[in-house]
Amino acid sequence: MAPNIFAVIAGVGPGTGAAVVRKFAQAYPVVLLARKEESYSSLVKEINEAGGSALGVATDVSVGSSITAAFEKIKAKFGSDATCAAAVFNASGTLVKKPFLELTEDDFTKPYAVSGKGAFHFSQAVLPHLLASAATTPKYNPTLIFTGATAALKGSAGFSTFASAKFAQRALAQSLAREFAPQGIHVSHVIIDGVIDIPSSKEYLKDAGPNAKINTEAIAEAYWQLHTQHLSAMTHEIEIRPFIEKW
């Protein structure tokens, strides 16, 4: 493995983000982006103490200058010619649930600031590094994965702000896939359709059985499978849901 190759995950927390980081850290040095240092500090320590390589950077993906500064730190760590093996955009905007006629403009733009604008900033910053990786004929094709939601497929009553942002992110993923697939970049959108099994969801579906909530390690495994797919058989979009979920 080239010494200046890395994987980067934006939106690292105790659930899906952490699981994806641990999975990709088995193969690559990893960069963890989150708004607050406490979201990633213990995980960075865990990976480095286990013999891996991890760099955490406090980043607000909704602000272009913050993303630019984060990637300057990545270059300082791995070199200006650093290439990216895989990039995962797992950040999500604030969920505002209100009747439509009670929404303010700020309510409407909050989710989009991360899911839409943040995805744009992240993609623009990381794609040059993914393209540089593609030029080296790597073992696995450079991959850009977006974590989506059921709201990317259907807007529910009271969720117009969140759904609009997730629709925008899905549209961006489709456009990037069509533009960059011919250049060797695998762009995927993953719809998480269900409750994720994390500490904050402990009270949900308590009596529904052990597999009623989505296991974060299983999500990470699905992301790894997307990364390792052959260019002749790429999956652009998958839906992940527990067996009890209605759809």
Sheet strand arrangement including 186-192: 54-58, 30-34, 5-10, 83-89, 143-149, 186-192, 237-240
CA–CA distance, 226 with 55 (Å, rounded to integer): 23
CA–CA distance, 64 with 117 (Å, rounded to integer): 9
What is the distance, to the nearest Å, from the Cα of residue 61 to the centroid of all Cα atoms in its chain? 11
Q: Which residues contact 67 (CB under 8 A, 6 or more apart)?
A: 59, 61, 121, 122, 124, 125
Q: What is the pLDDT of residue 137?
A: 87
Comparison of pLDDT for 242 and 57, the residue scoring more: 57
**What is the set of domains in the chain, with CATH numbers?**
5-240 (3.40.50.720)
The chain-wide mean pLDDT, for the chain, equals 92
Q: What is the pLDDT of residue 131?
A: 98
Closest listed residue to residue 71, CA positions, set 130, 147, 114, 12: 130
Comparison of pLDDT for 93 and 90, the residue scoring more: 90
> What does the buried/exposed string (b/e) look like for 90-100 if buried means 16 or more CB atoms within 10 Å of the residue's CB?
bbbbeebeeee
CA–CA distance, 161 with 184 (Å, rounded to integer): 34
For 24-42, what is the mean pLDDT?
97
CA–CA distance, 242 with 210 (Å, rounded to integer): 10
Q: What is the pLDDT of residue 244?
A: 75
- Contact between 78 and 29 under an 8 Å Cβ cutoff? The reply is yes
Question: For 165-207, how does the pLDDT look when each residue is reduced to its tens digit (9 = 90+)?
Answer: 999 999 999 999 999 999 999 999 999 887 786 666 565 556 5
CA–CA distance, 148 with 151 (Å, rounded to integer): 8
The tokens of 194 are what?
């269900």
Indicate the residue type of 144: L
Global pTM value:
0.94
